[in-house]
Structure formats: C-alpha cells, structure tokens
Amino acid sequence: MIAICGLAYPLAGTGLSQMLFRHQANGSITANGSTLIGQTWPGPKWFQGRPDGTVVTTGPEGVVISGTNQPGPRSKALETSVGRVAAKLKAEGIISTADLVTTSGSLVDPDISPAGAYAQVNAVATANRLPSSQVNKLVSAHVHSRQFGFLGAPYVNVLELNVALSHLG
C-alpha cells in the first residue's frame, strides 16, 4: 500500500499533469509573475487588483508572509480597510467597485470583475497618456467569459491586462 499510495499514485499524477497541463502544473509562471496570484501594482498607471489580505512582517530573512487577515462582515477593521482603499482609489480618479475594495476568499485573487476594470479605464488612460477608447478596447479584449458558458462569472486577469498595457506605450 505504501508503494502504491505513496509512490506510484503521486508519480503517475505528476507525470500526467506535466504531460497534459505543463503550464498550470508549474504554477502558471510568466516573465512577470504567476497568473494565479494577485500582485500589487503602483497606481494609477496600472490597473489595480483586489487588495491583498495577507499579513506581511519583517524578520531576519526579510519580508515574510505570516498569515491571513479575514475580518468578519461587522468588523471595524473591515470598515476601516474598505474606507482606506476606497479613498485611495477616489484620489486616483477611480470609482470603487466591491471587488476593488475587498479581499477575495483566497486573499490573493489575481482577477477582478469587468466592472472593476472598466472603472479604472479613464485613470489608467490619463496616467499613461493614452486615449480612453484604446484602453477600453484593451479591457474588452481581456474579459474572460464564464467557463463552459455557465460556470462562474466573467473576469479580467490583472496581470495579463497590465502586461498588454505595457505593450501599448
């Protein structure tokens, strides 16, 4: 049983995933990071993703991700956090949407709603000295539809969108 469950099965699973889904099995890594993990982008030049909910501390090894911060719906910490992020976005000329001011369940979601991306078009276009129509078309081209036409909701991967944006200028 140890040989089957502890060696043969994991090796078969790893081998199949490497053969059939190499990019995904290796973490969906691109030259700019993983498309599966949200990143912080200095705005307003770049599209912003969801706020990161991990707690970052500094230790002898440098920056360490030390845990999570998931306040409840009635939490003052959540209210303060949402207010702070909404004020920052407003200062950049972005109208807040729910996904731009709250963390996701995983705390590192790389995707935002199309509404969240479209809310940032004017600010990003102005900061990059691009026509709003060109940035709007860029967002439209990066909206992923529902899986199989009915599962989930449409979304925009912020890393992919920002990489495409970097090629415009």
pLDDT digits 0-9 by tens, 72-93? 788 888 888 889 999 999 998 8
pLDDT digits 0-9 by tens, 9-35? 999 999 999 999 998 888 878 777 778
Listed residue (165, 166, 43, 143) closest to 93, CA to CA = 43
Q: Where are the domains of the chain?
A: 1-29, 31-168
Judged against a pLDDT cut of 70, whether residue 69 lies above it is answered with no
pLDDT digits 0-9 by tens, 89-125? 999 889 999 999 988 877 788 899 999 999 999 999 9
Judged against a pLDDT cut of 90, whether residue 146 lies above it is answered with yes
pLDDT of amino acid 56? 56
The total of other beta-carbon atoms located within 10 Å of residue 160's CB is: 17
Residue 29 to residue 34: CA distance in whole angstroms: 4
Judged against a pLDDT cut of 90, whether residue 63 lies above it is answered with no
Residue 8 to residue 10: CA distance in whole angstroms: 6
pLDDT of amino acid 61? 58
Return the bridge partners of 156, or none: 112, 143
Report phi then psi at 67, rounded to 5. Answer: 160, -165
Q: Is the Cβ–Cβ distance between 27 and 137 less than 8 Å?
A: no
pTM, entire model: 0.77
